[in-house]
């Protein structure tokens, strides 16, 4: 017997967040996000995205045992931007049991119809800063703390439920060279001279919040053309400034300014904390904080790349190479051997062209699925620019 319950209150939210820790117990590739952060994202008084989103989460039990979870999110701003009325789904984790998965999906569909939606798509979160995309290739590779990991049977259930591909994201693993290519140095020198550029000193802790805020202001401008993205609100920017502050350092990030103190390009990354999060199971206490600090500031041969962007009107001016050259130089100095990108849309040629400069391979692919309800109006394929 399957019973689906609506998540209500902090106790249920905690069960919801902790469920994947048992589903993926001892799995070598699964990496949890921070438990406290996941809980806060589901609390209306903690997550500023609830200013324009509605959400409901569900837990499914079979014979009294917790077996599935999912969150339905109505992002009104994204729907207005994209010209449809879809319910997003996120945090979709389940055992390999069609009876349970079907019951949970029907609860999600009922919620979507209650809100007047014409379909369901995802995985997507409250904002583009949240985890998105179901893994369909690369199950054998270690995940990142800011991306979903899932078993290979997940896509099989999506197909069975009648979902189709909406769009894919791809990820790359880069082998860091032992020296900076001279041609890259020449392009960077010319770009710096032409645009009066300098790379900010991120060891300046007093100004670090200002630098990170500048990043998200430019993020809003540069990323707004991307699929599923809506600009962050001031309160959301405040939230991410606080969350990113411990991750930002000179070793793994580069913020490029001109002589007018305008941020023109950035690359945001950190030393990989995947293995630290695995050992701590996403918890800061009792020893999670120590493992995290060691991963971030100790010897580490791997970097995770979160975000990279250039001011739209300066694309093609070499500013992306200013970012990459700075990160590459510092990575070589610090013994970095590998860099792993975050998800990027499969048709984002501008970003993917950068990885051709290196020994890089696309090793993961993740998918946004869509299921339109019968009678829903036709829609065009998602378009991405930039």
pLDDT tens sequence across 21-38: 999 999 999 999 999 999
pLDDT of residue 67 exceeding 90, the answer is yes
pLDDT tens sequence across 322-345: 999 999 999 999 999 999 999 999
Residue 377 is predicted with a pLDDT of 63
Q: In the chain, which residue ranges form alpha helices assigned H by DSSP?
A: 9-23, 35-41, 76-82, 98-114, 153-160, 182-195, 208-223, 234-244, 274-280, 288-297, 319-333, 349-355
User: What global pTM score does this model have?
Assistant: 0.94
pLDDT of residue 385 exceeding 70, the answer is no
Q: How far apart are CA 365 and CA 215, in angstroms?
A: 26
| Spatial CA neighbour of 4 closest among 22, 20, 16 | 16
What mean pLDDT do residues 53-72 have? 97
Residue 381 is predicted with a pLDDT of 47
What mean pLDDT do residues 293-318 have? 94
pLDDT tens sequence across 120-150: 999 999 999 999 999 999 999 999 999 999 9
Residue 55 is predicted with a pLDDT of 98
pLDDT of residue 246 exceeding 50, the answer is yes
For the chain, the average pLDDT equals 94
């Amino acid at each position: 017997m399957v019973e689906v319950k609506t998540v209500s209150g902090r106790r249920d939210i905690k069960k919801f967040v902790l469920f994947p820790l048992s589903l993926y117990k001892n799995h070598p590739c699964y990496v949890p996000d921070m438990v406290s952060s996941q809980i806060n994202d589901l609390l209306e008084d903690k997550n500023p995205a609830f200013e324009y989103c509605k959400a409901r989460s569900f837990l499914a039990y079979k014979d009294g045992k917790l077996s599935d979870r999912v969150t339905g999110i109505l992002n009104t701003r994204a729907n207005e931007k994209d010209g449809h009325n879809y319910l997003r789904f996120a945090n979709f984790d389940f055992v390999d049991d069609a009876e349970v998965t079907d019951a949970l999906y029907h609860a999600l569909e009922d919620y979507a119809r209650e809100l007047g939606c014409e379909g369901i798509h995802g995985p997507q979160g409250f904002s583009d800063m949240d985890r998105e995309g179901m893994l369909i290739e690369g199950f054998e590779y270690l995940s990142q703390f800011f991306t979903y990991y899932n078993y290979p049977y997940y896509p099989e259930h999506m197909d069975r439920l009648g979902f189709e591909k909406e769009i894919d994201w791809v990820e790359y693993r880069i082998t860091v060279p032992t020296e900076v290519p001279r041609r890259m140095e020449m392009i960077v020198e010319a770009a710096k001279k032409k645009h009066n550029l300098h790379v900010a000193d991120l060891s300046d802790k007093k100004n670090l919040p200002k630098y990170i805020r500048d990043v998200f202001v430019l993020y809003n401008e540069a990323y707004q053309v991307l699929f599923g993205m809506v600009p962050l609100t001031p309160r959301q920017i405040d939230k991410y400034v606080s969350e990113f502050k411990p991750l930002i350092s000179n070793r793994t990030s580069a913020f490029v300014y001109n002589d007018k103190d305008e941020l023109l390009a950035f690359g945001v990354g950190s030393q990989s904390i995947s293995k630290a999060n695995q050992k701590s199971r996403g918890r800061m206490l009792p020893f999670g904080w120590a493992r995290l600090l060691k991963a971030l500031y100790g010897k580490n041969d791997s970097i995770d790349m979160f975000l990279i962007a250039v001011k739209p009107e300066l694309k093609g001016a070499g500013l992306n190479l200013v970012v990459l050259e700075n990160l590459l130089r510092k990575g070589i100095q610090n013994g970095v051997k590998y860099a792993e990108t975050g998800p990027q849309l499969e048709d984002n040629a501008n970003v993917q062209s950068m990885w051709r400069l290196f020994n890089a391979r696309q090793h993961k692919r993740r998918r946004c699925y869509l299921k339109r309800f019968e009678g829903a109006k036709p829609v065009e394929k998602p378009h991405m620019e930039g």
